[in-house]
Structure 1
């Protein structure tokens, strides 16, 4: 089993990242069509306007298959902070350190670009992910009930500020 963190788009990667999100969150919290189309639309838009000077997109490859992803959208970093998005690993790689490898690549990128604030939006109930976020210096700054992903959850915003 060879794991590689690849920077940048690969053919088929948009569909695979959407698939990973759709299946995981459908099983976990019953997110359905609205969530899957939102992920597909926003990830596609991000890839179309991707700018190496401010954005980062990493894929976790196992034997050439996309088994995870993470992105940094830096297009509004000066105003709102850099946005960490589409962080996921496949079921078979959870708990193996794969998520740590992806977060390390993304946070190293943010540090090299001197992003003073990095934020992410998630929801309550993702204990392993929250543990990783906190390990990397993210702190919960806001929480409210919401339906932006298709089902009502306790939405959360985490931030990491440069010291």
Structure 2
């Protein structure tokens, strides 16, 4: 009986990653937050623009690959790092990789990249109900700096902004 290859973390764009990352987000957020087509298309549009304008000295994209399939992602968007801080985005893992330590690996790589780029502030937006993600953000030193009630996703949700300040 052959064993599935172990997942690995790679960096940078690979063909199909925009669609696959959007798909992972769509499935997860539909099941856990009731989000629909607006959310999925927004993820695809913004991720596509990020990949088109990607500069390796400014931006980072990490993918968890398993047997040729993308099973997770995380990005650092440095476009507005000087004025608004770097933006941690598109952090997702497939159901089969959640709880396996790959979230820790992705965050560690992203934050190491941010330190190497001398990004003094990293921000991210998430939903209050995502406890596992919140636990990781707090573990890595992020603090909750803002909560708002959002309606853009089709129903009311509590959105949270976290921030990490590197000194």
- TM-score category by the smaller chain? over 0.9
Given candidates 120, 142, 145, the residue that maps to 2:149 is: 145
Q: Which has the larger radius of gyration?
A: 2
- Where do 4+ consecutive residues of structure 1 move more than 4 Å? none
- Structure 2 residue 70 is the aligned partner of structure 1 residue 81: no
CA offset digits 1:27-51 (Å, max 9, x no partner): 1111001100100000000000011
Partner of 1:107: 111
Gaps of 5+ in 2: none
**Deviation (angstroms), 1:62:** 1.2
- Structure 2 residue 28 is the aligned partner of structure 1 residue 15: no
Tell me the SS of whatever aligns to 1:6. Answer: strand
- Determine the C-alpha separation between the residues in 1 that align with 2:153 and 2:24: 15
- Determine the C-alpha separation between the residues in 1 that align with 2:44 and 2:30: 15
Tell me the SS of whatever aligns to 1:92. Answer: coil
**Deviation (angstroms), 1:148:** 3.4
Gaps of 5+ in 1: none
Q: Could you tell me whether the CA contact under 8 Å between 1:55 and 1:74 is conserved in 2? A: yes
- Structure 2 residue 140 is the aligned partner of structure 1 residue 136: yes
Higher RCO (C-alpha under 8 Å, 6+ residues apart): 1
- Determine the C-alpha separation between the residues in 1 that align with 2:93 and 2:46: 19
CA offset digits 1:117-160 (Å, max 9, x no partner): 00001111100000000111100000010123343200100000
Given candidates 146, 158, 166, the residue that maps to 1:162 is: 166
- Tell me how large the CA RMSD over aligned residues is: 0.9
- Determine the C-alpha separation between the residues in 2 that align with 1:61 and 1:25: 21
- Structure 2 residue 55 is the aligned partner of structure 1 residue 51: yes
CA offset digits 1:82-140 (Å, max 9, x no partner): 00000000001100001111111100100101100000011111000000001111000
Partner of 1:37: 41
CA offset digits 1:42-65 (Å, max 9, x no partner): 000000001111000111111221
How many residue pairs match? The answer is: 163
- Determine the C-alpha separation between the residues in 1 that align with 2:144 and 2:120: 17
